[in-house]
């Protein structure tokens, strides 16, 4: 990716608060117009990353570029960046209209232009009939839209969103995900969106950075992260139900895993692994099935059924391992906990990782 196409570039950015290392050699680039997601659980550095881009945090080392210009140690003003906080951060004593208008008033925009842009933004966010109301009289979704509109009205080049849907109920979160994707398409904004929610990350992000301990573990599309996770951490974070992990050690020919459920033959021999090395085989629940007639599989007991409408998640136990499989509802009809079954794993779908480092074995 050429620098000229980048809206953002962070290079080896680190930040500490006393003994706590919030960011550790963090590096990534965001192309102009992309919807880029920072994904990971709490305390991995997502908010600190956004605050560093916005200029609210100055890194201890590294470089922050916005549209090719170094803003690492420069003030907040002039960056063309706007941030929406998780808490909404609305002015409670001001109406929705006044909350929208506030950033433009601070910039010295004319009263007529402010009025035009406020009404335009309110209509776009379906708040035009509520702009005279104060935040306390608005629903959670409406407050979120006011916070979003207050950022959009400034016409930022880069919009930073810090877990903006966390405080909303399930239906509102669904509606707001669709609204944010629509706004992204409409304005062609560069958006950096932080979330701990896998569904949000996979459904919204054109590109997703999986974070751990203040750094990025892997960047890719939802398909990249699902089909080719580079380590156990990413494999365990992406996909629902999560990937099954089977521990064992590599056989002498490095073409199988010796595990508690028996030998798991690989589709190919591993050229970069050593016999006897501790390893983990990951397999998606969709890549496990019951054996067909005349087909050999390993013996298992059905432990639990979780009907989810059109599919059923079936947990089976074998050799002390519990594996989850996803079956069409029709295929799970008649199954009962306690039944015995023969189960087949698809070797071509194995993801093989080193137990020591968690890294994928090529």
* pLDDT tens digits, one per residue of 146-193: 988 888 888 889 999 999 888 777 887 888 888 888 888 888 889 999
263 within 8 A of 281, measured Cβ to Cβ: no
For the sheet with 288-290, list strands across it. Answer: 288-290, 340-345, 298-307, 311-318, 321-328
Q: Residue 286 — very low, low, confident or very high, per pLDDT cuts 50/70/90?
A: very high
Whether pLDDT at 293 is above 90: no
Query: Taking Cα atoms as reference points, which of 105, 114, 51, 59 lies closest to residue 83?
Result: 51
Given this model, what pLDDT does residue 279 score?
96
Q: Is the overall model pTM greater than 0.75, yes or no?
A: yes
pLDDT tens-place string over residues 321-340: 999 999 999 888 889 999 99
Q: What is the DSSP string of 144-200?
A: HHHHHHHHHTT--SEEEEESTTTTS-HHHHHHHHHHHHHHHHHH--EEEEEES-HHH
Mean pLDDT across the stretch 87-98?
89
31 within 8 A of 203, measured Cβ to Cβ: no
For 76, the 3-state DSSP assignment is coil
For 3, the 3-state DSSP assignment is helix
Within 10 A of 10 (CB to CB), how many other CB atoms are there?
A: 22
Whether pLDDT at 88 is above 80: no
Within 10 A of 229 (CB to CB), how many other CB atoms are there?
A: 24
Contacts for 178 with CB less than 8 Å, ≥ 6 apart: none
Q: Residue 2 — very low, low, confident or very high, per pLDDT cuts 50/70/90?
A: very low
- Which neighbouring-strand residues pair with 194? 38, 162
Given this model, what pLDDT does residue 29 score?
97
The dihedral sign for the CA sequence 330, 336, 340, 343: positive
The dihedral sign for the CA sequence 340, 341, 342, 344: negative
Q: Residue 77 — very low, low, confident or very high, per pLDDT cuts 50/70/90?
A: confident
For 135, the 3-state DSSP assignment is helix
Given this model, what pLDDT does residue 124 score?
83
Q: Which residue has the tokens 């933004």?
A: 121
Contacts for 302 with CB less than 8 Å, ≥ 6 apart: 314, 315, 316, 335, 336, 337, 338, 339, 340, 341
Given this model, what pLDDT does residue 180 score?
87
Whether pLDDT at 361 is above 70: yes
Whether pLDDT at 205 is above 80: yes
* Helix (H) or strand (E) run with residue 245 in it: strand 244-250
Query: Measured between alpha carbons, how far is 295 from 300 in angstroms, rounded to an integer?
Result: 15
Query: Measured between alpha carbons, how far is 299 from 291 in angstroms, rounded to an integer?
Result: 10
360 within 8 A of 351, measured Cβ to Cβ: yes
User: 212: left (phi > 0), else alpha (psi -120 to 50), else beta?
Assistant: beta
Percent of the chain with pLDDT over 90: 70
Q: Residue 3 — very low, low, confident or very high, per pLDDT cuts 50/70/90?
A: very low
Query: Measured between alpha carbons, how far is 242 from 283 in angstroms, rounded to an integer?
Result: 9
Mean pLDDT across the stretch 123-133?
89
User: 63: left (phi > 0), else alpha (psi -120 to 50), else beta?
Assistant: beta
Query: Measured between alpha carbons, how far is 45 from 21 in angstroms, rounded to an integer?
Result: 9
Whether pLDDT at 280 is above 60: yes
Domains of the chain: 3-236 (3.40.50.300), 241-354 (2.40.50.140)
């Amino acid at each position: 990716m050429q620098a000229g196409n980048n809206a953002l570039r962070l290079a080896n950015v680190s930040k500490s608060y006393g003994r706590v290392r919030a960011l550790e050699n963090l590096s990534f680039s965001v192309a102009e117009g992309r919807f880029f997601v920072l994904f990971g659980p709490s305390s991995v550095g997502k908010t600190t990353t956004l605050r560093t881009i916005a200029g609210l945090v100055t890194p201890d080392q590294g470089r922050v570029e916005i549209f090719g210009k170094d803003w690492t140690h420069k003030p907040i003003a002039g960056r063309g960046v706007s941030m929406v906080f998780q808490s909404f951060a609305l002015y409670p004593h001001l109406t929705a209209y006044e909350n929208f208008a506030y950033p433009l008033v601070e910039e010295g925009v004319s009263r007529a232009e402010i009025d035009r842009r406020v009404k335009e933004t309110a209509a776009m966010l379906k708040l035009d009939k509520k702009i005279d109301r104060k935040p306390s009289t608005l629903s959670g979704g409406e407050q979120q839209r006011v916070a979003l509109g207050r950022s959009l009205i400034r016409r930022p080049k880069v919009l930073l969103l810090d877990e903006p849907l966390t405080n909303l109920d399930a239906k509102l979160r669904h509606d707001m995900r669709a609204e944010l994707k629509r706004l992204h398409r409409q304005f062609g904004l560069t958006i950096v969106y932080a979330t701990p929610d896998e569904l949000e990350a996979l459904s919204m992000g054109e590109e997703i950075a999986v974070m751990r301990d203040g750094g990025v573990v892997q960047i890719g599309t939802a398909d990249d992260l699902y089909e080719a996770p580079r380590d156990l951490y990413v494999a365990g974070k992406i996909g629902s139900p999560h990937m099954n992990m089977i521990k064992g050690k590599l056989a002498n020919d490095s073409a199988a895993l010796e595990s508690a459920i028996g030998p798991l033959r690989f589709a190919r021999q591993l050229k970069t692994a050593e016999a006897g090395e501790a390893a983990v085989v990951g397999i998606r629940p969709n890549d496990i099935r019951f054996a067909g007639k005349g087909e050999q599989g390993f013996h298992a007991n059905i432990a639990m059924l979780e009907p989810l409408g059109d599919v059923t998640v079936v947990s089976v136990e074998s050799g002390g391992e519990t594996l989850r499989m996803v079956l069409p509802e029709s295929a799970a009809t008649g199954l009962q906990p306690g039944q015995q079954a023969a189960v087949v794993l698809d070797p071509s779908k194995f993801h093989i990782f080193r137990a020591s480092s968690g890294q994928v074995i090529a």
